Structure 1
Amino acid sequence: MVRQVSTGGAAEPVVPRPAATVLLLRDAPDVPAGGTPLQVFLQRRVAGMAFAGGMTVFPGGGVDPGDTPDPSRWAGPDAHWWGRRLVCEPELAGALVQAAVRETFEECGVLLAAPPGGRTTVDPVLAGVLSQGREDLVARRRTLADLLAATGLVLRADLLHAWARWITPPSNPRRYDTVFFTAIVPAGQEADAATTEAVEAGWWHPAEALDRWQDGEIELMAPTLRTLQQIAEFPDAASVHAAAARRVVTPMIPKVRRDGSRIVVVIPGDPEYANAVDHLRPGGRRP
């Protein structure tokens, strides 16, 4: 990240840091009456964190120097394919995919990797090795590429689809250029809340999260809000994941505006974009 510098008394916007976020999806084992099975994994970040403190978010984080992919430990679309998909250079695209897999493993314990040509189910012996490997990744004692090589696994880039690319507004002192991916939890794996970056984590029906936000019980940033509103229209995890494969990914800086009691996310090209702001809280409970 580049620090702000003074130019004639005006601060230059911070250069956004590349980041990856994953909409980790599943179908709920128990579906509420009249509801749909779709659930997404959400975390409420520690309040004192420098970026998005106290916000409820999808798992993810910034690209690290160690997120350079090893082609020999990679299965699925390559970095050049992802570069075209994400509208960026192949080197960055590969690092974004690698970061998405690493962050999902670090924050949720779900690993989008498998033996070459094999299944993503983790056997008990490998689970023990990966548990220690997860701690090493969080402590930055090793990279994901190191862990994959040590376990004989390959990263499964084919298990990810790109949903969107959001850039933090220029007014924010910490900015990210974040690709939102979708992924369905592989059979035999479970997401957990074993991360120091969140005070709680779990599976939410999108509509439930939106209701809790509207009632002021959780806070959502504009990209999270917009994404939850979008996926709430789908019945199950497979349909969201399939839709992601067909979406056009365009870098966008979101803003928000009020529409009565509702907060609406607007993007460049919207007639109200010039009058929108970077962040708003819900204006009390719904009538």
Structure 2
Amino acid sequence: MNAASQPVPSLKDASTVMLVRDGAAGPEVFLQRRVGAMAFAAGMTVFPGGGVDPSDGTADIEWAGPEPAWWAEKFGTTEPRAKALVAAAVRETFEECGVLLAGPTTDTVVSDTTGYHDARGRLERRELSLAAFLAEEKLVLRADLLRPWANWITPVIEPRRYDTRFFVAVLPQGQLADGATSEAAEVQWRTPADALARWRAGTDILLPPTWAQLDAIGEFGSTVEILAVDKVIEPIMPVLSGPDGQQLLDFPNNQRYFADLPDTSRLKGSARP
């Protein structure tokens, strides 16, 4: 069977959260370098995130902020799917860096997550659902702390494909983002400019969606400005274009991406969300 006749891998929903904070040189973004053994994006520098779990959004969750209908309109999807995407964003952020976008009431957020260490491990091992965790701890999911940002879809040429919604959130006061997850080899807070400079130098490898979001966030001077953006979200799915032997993935600003991409990490046809 040739490549053209092979079935296109199915898409899996995923949520990614760009966690930001104000720094001396402007907004900083939390990034993690994935361990080399990961089945997807191994060794890449990414934002916290991952696939939507079947349990995400299936149970009643105490919820503050925009309802699933609002998120569904923003992301162009159904209400149940939107609810699961938001729940996955909160769960993945807690699992991967210990930041919890939830609080005891609709207008508060926890300031110290160390007391939830055991629950965090159970969530990561899928021994506990987000809904059960929030119910046990009497916490309210703070959807109002998230903003919708982008939607990237893995190209059809890849064996693993994700329909990924990108969110942005400010690090809650008092909380610390860490690297205590089995998926991260290294974590770092960096300005977008610094992160992009490290990519151009070949120190870090950025997939096109990560590069695109860092490039966009770098335009803003504060986290207040970032949260104030009202994004119109159009799905982006890179496709191969160009003559055989010189094909590149086509996506917004792809020429800038490939012009700056270091030879040591040149991904071309395999550069993927």
TM-score computed with the length of structure 2 as normaliser: 0.87
- Which secondary structure does the structure 1 equivalent of 2:89 belong to? helix
2:19 aligned partner: 24
> Does 2:57 correspond to 1:75?
no
For 1:177 and 1:12, the matched residues in 2 are separated by 17
What code does the residue aligned with 1:180 have? F
> Does 2:50 correspond to 1:55?
no
- Which structure 2 residues correspond to residues 52-201 of structure 1 after superposition, within 5 A? 52-122=41-111, 127-128=114-115, 130-201=116-187
Contact 1:73–1:153 (8 Å) recurs in 2: yes
Contact 2:57–2:84 (8 Å) recurs in 1: yes
> Does 2:31 correspond to 1:42?
yes
Change in Cα spacing, 1:8 to 1:252, as seen in structure 2 (3 Å) is closer
1:3 aligned partner: none
Change in Cα spacing, 1:38 to 1:256, as seen in structure 2 (3 Å) is farther
Deviates more, 1:154-163 or 1:114-123: 114-123
Residue among 175, 187, 211 paired with 2:197: 211
- Which secondary structure does the structure 2 equivalent of 1:251 belong to? coil
Cα distance, 1:188 vs structure 2: 1.1
Matched-pair identity in %? 46
Cα distance, 1:256 vs structure 2: 8.7
Cα distance, 1:277 vs structure 2: 11
Contact 1:22–1:59 (8 Å) recurs in 2: yes
- Which structure 2 residues correspond to residues 218-237 of structure 1 after superposition, within 5 A? 218-237=204-223
Cα distance, 1:69 vs structure 2: 4.9
Q: What are the superposed Cα offsets for residues 104-159 of structure 1, whole Å, 9 maximum, x if unpaired?
A: 00001000001123421335xx742x111101101111101001000110100111
For 1:229 and 1:197, the matched residues in 2 are separated by 24
- Which secondary structure does the structure 1 equivalent of 2:30 belong to? strand
- Which secondary structure does the structure 2 equivalent of 1:252 belong to? coil
Cα distance, 1:9 vs structure 2: 7.2
What code does the residue aligned with 2:28 have? Q
What code does the residue aligned with 1:15 have? S
For 2:189 and 2:249, the matched residues in 1 are separated by 24
Contact 2:31–2:188 (8 Å) recurs in 1: yes
- Which secondary structure does the structure 1 equivalent of 2:188 belong to? strand
Deviates more, 1:156-165 or 1:60-69: 60-69
> Does 2:263 correspond to 1:283?
yes
2:245 aligned partner: none
* RMSD of aligned Cα (Å): 2.8
Residue among 226, 242, 247 paired with 2:231: 247
For 1:95 and 1:67, the matched residues in 2 are separated by 5
1:202 aligned partner: 188
Q: What are the superposed Cα offsets for residues 194-226 of structure 1, whole Å, 9 maximum, x if unpaired?
A: 111010002011100100100111101000011
- Which secondary structure does the structure 2 equivalent of 1:169 belong to? coil
What code does the residue aligned with 1:91 have? P
Name stretches of at least 5 consecutive residues in structure 2 with no aligned partner.
242-247, 266-273
Change in Cα spacing, 1:218 to 1:186, as seen in structure 2 (3 Å) is same
- Which secondary structure does the structure 2 equivalent of 1:22 belong to? strand
TM-score computed with the length of structure 1 as normaliser: 0.83
Cα distance, 1:80 vs structure 2: 1.4
For 1:254 and 1:27, the matched residues in 2 are separated by 32
2:7 aligned partner: 12
- Which secondary structure does the structure 2 equivalent of 1:24 belong to? strand
For 2:84 and 2:64, the matched residues in 1 are separated by 14
